[in-house]
Chains A and B, each alone.
Chain A
Amino acid sequence: MTHADHPATISGLGQRVVRLLPPLPLFLLQPILRRIVTRVARKNPDMFGRLGPHLRARFVIDPVNLPFVLLLRPDPNDLLLRACSRRNIPPHDARITGGFLDLLMLVDSDLDGDALFFSRDLTITGNTEAVVCLRNALDDVDDSIAEDVAAMFGPPGRMTLNGFRRMNERRGQNHDPS
């Protein structure tokens, strides 16, 4: 069963600004996202065992301060990671909503998802079991997924990731959900 969408409710100036932006040419992102998800899946084949019956689940990953959402289907035989317009969010089984930096750090287990949930910086709706499985699958990956993805883009990719990490560290001095 998929869920009808409703708008994210994490508020903030950044999110309001995002909604005023013109639509991004998302087609430019799709081949990059396809490469990313294929590489992560190839390097971490064991992670899919933790997804149990939810390999075919469709997750909307919603970074509230970006002008688009991501649609993920973590099926190693039929992988999907696609950027979608906020104006046309596709049917999904579960939705994970949070700030971009928080979601990035979660992927790498630099932040604790439960702590973000307690502080209301992370919201999940839809199939909770599927989300728990995805979280546990990602948490069992030893190597940094973000570093691996950054390395795909060479020095500019690594510089960008380092920049995000510095932003996270600066933010952590005042707000530490890990």
Chain B
Amino acid sequence: MIRPELVCPAGTPSAMRTAVDAGADAVYCGFQNATNARNFPGLNFTVPELEKSVAGAHAHGTKVLLAVNTFPPAGKVDLWKEAVDAGSRIGVDAFIVADIGVADYIHRTHPDIRLHLSVQAAASTPEAIRFYCREFNVKRVVLPRILTVPEIRDMAAAIPCEVETFIFGNHGLMVEGRCSLTNYITGLSTNMDGVCSPAADVQYIRDDAGNMTTRLGAFTIDCFSCSENAGYPTICKGRYQAAAHEGPYYAFEEPISLNLSALLPDLMSAGVTALKIEGRQRSRAYVKKVVGAFRKAVDSIMAGNDPEIAALIALTEGQKQTEGAFKSKTWR
């Protein structure tokens, strides 16, 4: 069994130090602009911050992967090129990309730096992944969260690059890189601006009884009674009324997080090279606890023992967790 790389999120320099201290093998992050898919206010790195953070991570033997994983609109490609050039100058260990133009630019201008294919590229067939490997020398693919473990095993055997899978955090099942729900309501694009449900458009309205209504732009996307756990204000996890269903219901997805703690041994034996924790927008407390828990679990499995998994339910969206499609395609 290969020792998998534990790939951990960092939204700030402090979170990166926390991830490194908690045992991350690699940390992924982005700049403070539209070039990455977590372009949230007050989050991410300036060029000087990343330069210092990369040096700190490397001093501890931890790799830094730079997410440049959004899609440049026509005429604005220079911002993505500048991000890539800055990352190269700073010495990041890999770029995580989705757009073929950005992938091509990196392949031609920085051929010595590893290229990882983002989940945002939604490459889910051996044919698609082999294309990226052949044309851009992609070294690793981050698989969409729609495959079962046996399917991942077959995929790993059929492609000429490493496989990275999500193991904890957001349970996003939309065809990633193609979701336009936020764009439809706010005018800002998840894929091109890097903002899913921009905070400036989010409003929480609480009534005297403690019920909370979540609005995005002009639309109400959920209403939680005072005794219900809440979820993120994303359209895909909102509750709606529709003719096909009696009463309000989660028409797309539920507020729930992925947690593959119990499937770790299966994933590792299926040939997964890297295990990814989602959550660059989360706090240092989240990073410390989740990274620490999975570090311990992976080390335990590698030592031939049963994994020791800390309870992480309190950190999950809606305080609910699932193994999603990894366990079965009929999880709902």
CB-based contact A9/B204 at 8 Å: no
Q: Which A residues lie within 8 Å of B284 (CB)?
A: 109, 139
| A118 contact from B203, B205, B317, Cβ within 8 A | B317
Distance between A2 CB and nearest chain B CB, rounded to angstroms: 14
Contact with B along A156-178 (1 / 0, CB 8 A): 00000000000000000000111
| A129 contact from B41, B46, B232, Cβ within 8 A | B41
Considering the complex, which residues of chain B in the window 31-75 have a beta carbon less than 8 Å from any beta carbon of chain A? 40-43, 46
The total of chain B residues at the interface (CB under 8 A) is 46
Considering the complex, which residues of chain B in the window 301-328 have a beta carbon less than 8 Å from any beta carbon of chain A? 311, 314-319
CB-based contact A128/B204 at 8 Å: yes
The stretch that binds A, out of B113-121, B143-151, B206-214, B264-272, is B206-214
Chain A residue with Cβ nearest B231: A118
Chain A CB within 10 Å, residue with most, of B13, B210, B316: B210
Task: Give A132 to B42 CA distance when docked, in angstroms.
Answer: 7
Task: Give A137 to B283 CA distance when docked, in angstroms.
Answer: 11
Task: Give A177 to B282 CA distance when docked, in angstroms.
Answer: 13
Task: Give A114 to B319 CA distance when docked, in angstroms.
Answer: 11
The stretch that binds A, out of B101-109, B152-160, B177-185, B222-230, is B222-230
The stretch that binds B, out of A18-26, A82-90, A119-127, is A119-127
A125-B199 contact in complex given A9-B210, A114-B283, A135-B283, C-beta closer than 8 Å: no
Chain A residue with Cβ nearest B207: A9
A52-B42 contact in complex given A123-B206, A139-B283, C-beta closer than 8 Å: yes
A148 touches B (CB below 8 Å):
no
CB-based contact A125/B204 at 8 Å: yes
B241 touches A (CB below 8 Å):
no
B300 touches A (CB below 8 Å):
no
Task: Give A176 to B284 CA distance when docked, in angstroms.
Answer: 16
CB-based contact B13/A119 at 8 Å: no
A111-B12 contact in complex given A120-B226, A125-B205, C-beta closer than 8 Å: no
Interface residue range, chain A? 35 or more
Q: Which B residues lie within 8 Å of A11 (CB)?
A: 210
A7 touches B (CB below 8 Å):
yes
Chain B residue with Cβ nearest A127: B200
Task: Give A120 to B224 CA distance when docked, in angstroms.
Answer: 10
Q: Which B residues lie within 8 Å of A137 (CB)?
A: 42
Contact with B along A127-146 (1 / 0, CB 8 A): 01101111111011110000
Chain B residue with Cβ nearest A137: B42
A110 touches B (CB below 8 Å):
yes
A6 touches B (CB below 8 Å):
yes
CB-based contact A112/B286 at 8 Å: yes
Chain B residue with Cβ nearest A122: B230
A29 touches B (CB below 8 Å):
no
Q: Which A residues lie within 8 Å of B206 (CB)?
A: 6, 9, 123, 125
Q: Which A residues lie within 8 Å of B285 (CB)?
A: 109-112, 115, 178
CB-based contact A118/B200 at 8 Å: no
A117-B12 contact in complex given A124-B204, A139-B283, C-beta closer than 8 Å: no
CB-based contact A9/B12 at 8 Å: no
CB-based contact A9/B41 at 8 Å: no
16 CB < 8 A contacts A-B: A9-B207, A50-B42, A110-B285, A114-B315, A115-B315, A118-B255, A118-B318, A119-B319, A120-B212, A123-B212, A128-B199, A132-B42, A136-B11, A139-B11, A140-B13, A178-B285
For the complex of A and B, list the 9 residue pairs with the smallest distance between their C-beta atoms, beginning with the closest.
Answer: A136-B42, A133-B42, A140-B12, A129-B199, A50-B42, A9-B210, A109-B284, A129-B200, A128-B202
